[in-house]
Amino acid sequence: MSDTQLTPEELAGQKYKYGFTTDIAMEEFPKGLSEEIVRLISAKKQEPEWLLEWRLKAYRLWCESEEPHWAHIHHPPINYQDYYYYAAPAKAAPKSLDEVDPELLKTYEKLGIPLNERAALAGVAVDAVFDSVSVATTFRETLAKAGVIFCPISEAVREHPELVRKYLGSVVPQSDNYFAALNSAVFSDGSFVYIPKGVRCPMELSTYFRINARNTGQFERTLIIADEGAYVSYLEGCTAPQRDENQLHAAVVELVAMNDATIKYSTVQNWYPGDAEGRGGIYNFVTKRGACRGRNSKISWTQVETGSAITWKYPSCILQGENSVGEFYSVAVTNHHQQADTGTKMIHIGKNTRSTIISKGISAGKSNNTYRGLVRILPAASGARNFTQCDSLLIGEECGAHTVPYIENRNLTSKVEHEATTSKIAEDQLFYCRSRGLSQEDAVGLIVNGFCKDVLKELPMEFAVEAQKLLSVSLEGSVG
Amino acid sequence: MLEIKNLRARIGEKEILKGIDLTVPTGEIHAIMGPNGAGKSTLSYVLSGRDGYEVTEGEVLYNGVNILELAPEDRAAAGMFLAFQYPVELPGVGNANFLRTALNAVRRKRGEPELDAVAFLKSARAAIKSLQMNEDFLKRNVNVGFSGGEKKRNEMLQMALLKPGLAILDETDSGLDIDALRIVSEGVNALRGPSFSALVITHYQRLLDHIVPDMVHVLAGGRIVRSGPKELALELEARGYAGVEAA
């Protein structure tokens, strides 16, 4: 177990009050980022030399590059030297549900999260949580039997160095962008998944994730490899509100699909969005990319983004293998002062590659919601096809919706279609629902869920229901 | 019982309803007829609580409760139902889901147990059969791509399930062919009974051949200018509104 993932005993033993007086010496991990800190992180994780070098290269690239400002987002300058890059001091974990903010519990109830999971999600010390450890063990055994590797990436570095070394940074190199470089230098932990040839992963990796993989830190790194003919469905995050004191998040996710392999990656992002006046909230700068390396491979991204003060995120597909397929299904909701600039890139390289983009943006309050997407068809991609549909829904008078599609087609035999609509929740729709007995908020929820149906149906079943409720909860107070 | 007392309402600065007095006893069906611009639709919207209509005077009691103080959804729970002249489309929202959500919202407020999916489908199918509709209706999105007649039938389906004590039909007959007209009328007539009342708002007399009213009121210039038995509708049909307006 890595140092950032505290054991249940450690969690329970932490008694930091706000004064913070335990023996975890903060002097060792000062604020700020330097080559020394990168070395320290690597040393603490007992990483091999090659990974240290890899991190240092990323650090140098980060130093040389500049924070990007092309997205439609605004924030005060980020002082990168004012953050902790390793094990930020945690607040004391509550010991039971009685100590948890009742508002948080109310939200869990609205979302229909099972009682025995609520404590775990609220951050109650793990050993106090109903049998989550035994459940996790059962999952682990099932996966091992199928030959699936699913573990923290820090563990994979030790146990499967050949796989990690081969694939880490092969889809998102350290030099990719400012935030990817930052993540590569200081990544805390994350998940590693390897599905061997011909194996269909026997379970949704979501269920496991929800109970087990918390505290992966603000610089999460995920690497998923589906070997020939393999299939895996992975769900990141959960619908429960994520309470996190770290303001800056910069994750990297890399997916690799070989011949005839399929990866389905679903995200429900519900980080703290800040308060109604726009104070606080997470800055979420994420780089997610999948490489369809093999023939007939398929990568499908589904995301429901309702949280964070700022979302900067473009899950993309590099369609290299012949007949490979990329999909992007997205719902992005912004309320109050939230800002989202999100979309995808579909890079068609191989023959007869196909991509589908369905994006649903919902803006309420004083928020801004931008779809930004690139469809690039390279000269070799004969017979390539793309279909893009971007729909925006506005709630109220003070929000903004923006659509920024880039289309670059360099092959005459390919076909690109783009459709976009912008609409408002009409007063007559609300009145119609209310005259049938629905409350204003239920009416908004119903209309918004209808608007998002094409995306929500792509989510794993058990999350689709929660995601529907999440949309309603996120938009509470947005009308009237 | 519905009692409207000296009801005045305006949109912006323009007064549309200029003192309406009307009583519909429980168990009766009353028709409101009148020329275009008389305030017929305004009356139905004010009764059901739509935003944008300001009541400046008067009160509306439904079973003794002043419903003007209630939100539209609470009026629905109290037993009122507005059948829309132009039913609204809800893209992506399945009809069955909409119906069940509405029905359970109303049942909750009335203190009745909610229906689970099986119980709901059973009653929905029964209602669909009695309205001679196709079961596909439940799978389609609310009013999206419906013909005019289908939309009106969908209103009747909602009404059959919500079982209101008072239905307000706002020109439900506009744009209907004769078959659809018959089906809509049967929908209303099926609910007819000692605990059901209706306010049938219409421009033409022909709907009243199918839904025979206990009383007919003429709304013109924001006031009820004449009331009488069902024969009044025939008289209006023959002589037009010009005469009554002058009166």
Residue with tokens 């590659």: A353
Domain coverage including residue B237: 2-246
pLDDT value of position A172: 96
Are the beta carbons of B73 and A439 separated by less than 8 Å?
Answer: yes
- CB contact at 8 A, A383 and A352: yes
- Cα end-to-end distance, chain B, whole Å: 29
Higher pLDDT, A98 or A345: A345
pLDDT in tens, A334-383: 988 899 999 999 999 999 999 999 999 999 889 999 999 999 999 999 99
Distance CA(B68)–CA(B75), nearest Å, equals: 9
Residue-wise pLDDT tens digits, A54-78? 999 999 999 999 999 998 988 888 8
Question: Span A412-425, mean pLDDT?
Answer: 91
Residues of B in contact with A442 (CB under 8 A): 101, 105
Chain B residues touching A421 at Cβ < 8 A? none
Q: With a cut of 70, say whether residue A44 has pLDDT above it.
A: yes
Give CA–CA dist B2/A478, Å, rounded. 34
pLDDT at position B224: 94
Contact between A451 and B49 using a beta-carbon 8 Å cutoff: no
Residue-wise DSSP of B53-73: -EEEEEEEEETTEEGGGS-HH
Q: Is the pLDDT of residue B210 over 80?
A: yes
Bigger pLDDT: A220 or A51?
Answer: A51
Of A440, A446, A452, the CB nearest to B98: A446
Could A454 and B72 be called an inter-chain contact, meaning their C-beta atoms sit closer than 8 Å?
no
Closest to A331 measured CA to CA, from A213, A424, A464: A464
| Closest chain B C-alpha to A268 CA, distance in angstroms | 21
Comparing A207 with A398, the larger pLDDT belongs to A398
CA–CA separation, A251 vs B95, rounded Å?
Answer: 41
User: Is A437 in Cβ contact with B77 (below 8 Å)?
Assistant: yes
* Partner residue facing B92 (CB), from A428, A439, A453: A453
Name the residue among A191, A190, A210 with its Cα closest to residue A136: A210
For residue A444, what is the enclosing H or E element?
Answer: helix A440-451
Q: Which DSSP string do the residues of A25-78 spell out, in sequence order?
A: -GGGS-SS--HHHHHHHHHHTT--HHHHHHHHHHHHHHHHS-----SS---PPP
**Mean pLDDT, rounded, for A130-144:** 61
Q: What is the pLDDT of residues B112-133, one digit of tens each?
A: 999 998 999 999 999 998 888 8
Question: Is B105 at the interface with chain A, CB within 8 A?
Answer: yes
Average pLDDT over residues B11-20: 93
The pLDDT value given to residue B135:
86
Q: For residue B96, count other CB atoms closer than 10 A to its CB.
A: 18
User: Which strand (E) or helix (H) includes residue A408?
Assistant: strand A400-409
pLDDT higher at B5 or A29: B5
Q: pLDDT value at position A117?
A: 62
A230 vs B186, more confident? A230
- For residue B151, the SS3 value is helix
pLDDT at A174 > cutoff 80? yes
CA angle B210, B211, B213 (to 5 degrees): 135
Chain A residues near residue B106 by CB distance under 8 angstroms: 436-437
Q: Does B111 lie at the interface with A, CB-CB under 8 angstroms? A: no
Q: Is the pLDDT of residue A273 over 50?
A: yes
A138 vs A395, residue with greater confidence: A395
Mean pLDDT for the stretch of residues A139-161: 88
For residue B196, the domain's CATH number is 3.40.50.300
- The CB-side HSE value for B26 (13 A sphere, CA atoms) comes to 11
Q: How confident is the model at residue A232 (pLDDT cuts 50, 70, 90)?
A: very high
- What the block records as the tokens of B107 is 């049942």
Task: Give residue A472's pLDDT.
Answer: 78
List Cα–Cα distances, B112 to A29, A297, A322, B64, B75, in angstroms: 60, 52, 59, 22, 16
Q: Does B158 touch chain A (CB under 8 A)?
A: yes
**pLDDT exceeds 70 at position B66:** yes
pLDDT at A11 over 60: no
> Once rounded to an integer, what is the mean pLDDT over residues A129-143?
58
Question: Which residues contact residue B123 at a Cβ distance below 8 angstroms, ignoring those fewer than 6 apart?
Answer: B115, B161
Pick among B53, B88, B89 to test the A interface (most A CBs inside 10 A):
B88
What is the reported pLDDT for A246?
59
pLDDT tens-place string over residues A292-307: 999 999 999 999 998 8
Per cent of chain A over pLDDT 70 is 79
Average pLDDT over residues B181-202: 90
> CA-CA distance, A433 to B143, in Å (whole number)?
12
Q: What is the pLDDT of residues B141-188, one digit of tens each?
A: 999 999 888 888 899 999 999 999 999 999 887 777 787 788 788 889
Residues of chain A positioned with their CB less than 8 A from the CB of B76: 434-437
Is the Cβ of B79 closer than 8 Å to some Cβ of chain A?
no
How far is the C-alpha of A348 from the C-alpha of A320, rounded, in Å? 7
Q: Is the Cβ pair A436, B158 closer than 8 Å?
A: yes
Helix (H, G, I), strand (E, B) or coil at B178: helix
Residue of B nearest to A437 (CA): B73
The mean predicted confidence, pLDDT, of chain B is: 90
| Chain B residues with beta carbon closer than 8 angstroms to that of A450 | 90-93, 141
- Could you give the number of structural domains in chain B? 1
Q: Which residues of A touch B91 (CB under 8 A)?
A: 450-451
> What is the model's pLDDT at position A276?
79
State the residue for tokens 């509306």: B60
> Is A9 a residue whose pLDDT tops 50?
no
Query: Could you say which of B48, B52, B91 has the minimum Cβ distance to residue A435?
Result: B48
pLDDT > 90? residue A191: no
Q: Which of A436, A447, A449 sits opposite B76 (nearest CB)?
A: A436
User: Closest residue of B to A442, CA-based?
Assistant: B101
Which of A478, A404, A420, A419 shows the shortest CA–CA distance to A447?
Answer: A478
Stretch 183-242 of chain B: residues touching chain A, C-beta under 8 Å: none
Interface test with B, best of A358, A431, A436, A465 (most B CBs within 10 A): A436
Cross-chain residue pair B75–A435, CB shorter than 8 Å: yes
Does A431 contact B72 at a Cβ distance shorter than 8 Å? Answer: yes
pLDDT > 90? residue A479: no
